[in-house]
Structure 1
């Protein structure tokens, strides 16, 4: 007998959270080992996934991560439409839902990258920086392109500041049902992870703003470029090690979310009702 629809959605969401966690854990782990001179590589999501190809069953692991990211992207977009967490239709609620939709699109693109790598279709070599520069070039080519690019960069910086604020507040457990004996550890992992992700977002956003000011898309950086920029600073190895360890912690927190997040997953028919409601408003 098949599982109820809401149970399947919950399973998809948890698999997606674990997949995103695996990517961050891999990126952070590789950058950390590079920072302390123990091998590894300072790169972004794509280069981290490609590093698995040399491992036993590497293509299968990448494929599993890619499939999980498909689930995560679908759940994010589904959450933006149906709003199972009850963010509402206020300006703040709609903003949160818009961020969820954007997250779904970004992670959907990463899922496609992972699946093409796993299938041996992707030629490789471009990486996160090239993708960031391509998107920046597209934005700059639009009417008021510099202002548009600067606005996107400011939004990314704002997201980074929000992550730092969330780390300071320590409220990342409010949607998790964490056992009492694990709560302190989960809070530490979450705080460190959100702080590191916030730093990376601020750096990426800063490069976008610089690209807007100079009208030069080559100044845009992705995750790998942001980490390399940190490494290029005075005492950069220590700074990189701290941020990389934090990204690995964010990845570990993804697995904690997969285990303990409270997921309100209504029936898929609710998605149709939500889409109909949006269509009526438009």
Structure 2
């Protein structure tokens, strides 16, 4: 008896269930939640650029700002649930493959695993913030702490340097992919009018380029921390964004980057609506 032939329909049913309405809903909720965070971070960064630097321009600052809004606690729980949905979707991609002809390649599955772990951590931090009233650590504090621990292990400078290079390369890759509009492969382009597609491209190219620049800058700071063996050289999202205001372009570069993050938030909403899952 050919047991593999009997098992194949069962695997097919499991794969279809994993890609069914529940996982699709989780993916779209996760993309929308990501959009909210980037939108809020972009707005906070714009406030920093125009002289109001009282709040952190990072995820923690965004959560704090959201908590002060009407129904803030409900919104925080919804945001955490959405990000948990994003983690579930990435887990499904790791196990069963993602959309597209090359979605089941080992490289794609490995990237899905990394994304799943990342969003598990993000969802946990948001849900922890929603559950308690205590202040969470800023991205800058977390970055310096992790860098100090890494520098304290054997070959720590090489480890921090390698991670920094990886983040910087990822930033360049994100920016290039945005400029090339590679996200078109993941969109239901037939459902978009010509005008809507142009608007999505504005958010996708502008937002992805800004996001890539932030990643590249954060990676460069990590490399500098490794070379100097000084954890205080590493920067989280807030300090990375503020560093753009210290360039010869003044606060206007930060304005452009912050506006780009707002655009990426809007682009995430577009993905939540029209992405193939």
Classify 1:59/1:192 alpha carbon distance in 2 versus 1 (closer, same or farther; 3 Å): same
For structure 1, list consecutive stretches of 5 or more residues without a partner in the other structure.
Answer: 264-282
Residue 52 in 1 paired to residue 66 in 2? yes
Encode CA deviations 1:111-161: one digit per residue, 9 max, x unaligned: 11211221225x215211111122222322333211111111111111111
Structure-2 separation of matches of 1:25 and 1:138 = 31
Indicate the RMSD between aligned Cα atoms, in angstroms.
2.1
1:253 to 267, 270, 274: 267
**2:193 corresponds to which residue?**
180
Name the CA distance, whole Å, in 1 between partners of 2:143 and 2:25: 32
Question: Are the equivalent residues in 2 in contact too, given 1:31–1:244 (CA < 8 A)?
Answer: yes
Is 1:87 the counterpart of 2:98? The answer is no
Q: Secondary structure at the match of 2:222?
A: helix
- Per the alignment, residue 219 of structure 1 pairs with 233
State the match for 1:19 in structure 2.
33
Indicate how the Cα distance of structure 1 residues 97 and 216 shifts in structure 2: closer, same or farther if over 3 A, else same.
farther
Contact 1:157–1:204 (Cα < 8 Å) also in 2: yes
Stretch of structure 1 that moved more, 203-212 or 51-60: 51-60
Structure exhibiting the larger radius of gyration computed from Cα positions? 2
- Whether 1:30 aligns to 2:44 is yes
Q: Which residue of 2 aligns with 1:153?
A: 164
CA distance in structure 2 between the partners assigned to 1:200 and 1:29 by the alignment: 15
Contact 1:13 1:75 in 2 (8 A): yes
1:165 aligned onto 2:176? yes
**2: CA distance, partners of 1:9 / 1:88:** 16
Q: Deviations over 1:215-264 (max 9, x none)?
A: 2222211111110111222333101110001011111111111101111x
For residue 82 of structure 1, report the CA deviation from its aligned partner: 2.2
Aligned residues: 257
2:276 to 256, 262, 266: 262
Give the Cα–Cα distance (whole angstroms) in 1 for the partners of residues 246 and 132 of structure 2: 33
What is the correspondence of 1:175-214 to structure 2 with a 5 Å cutoff?
175-178=186-189, 179-181=192-194, 182-214=196-228
The 5-angstrom pairing of residues 118-137 of structure 1 reads 118-121=130-133, 123-137=134-148
Aligned CA distance change for structure 1 residues 97 and 131 (closer, same or farther; 3 Å): farther
SS in 1 for 2:185: coil
Given that residues 23 and 88 in structure 2 are in contact (C-alpha distance below 8 angstroms), is that contact kept between their aligned partners in structure 1?
Answer: no
Q: TM-score, normalising length from structure 1?
A: 0.84
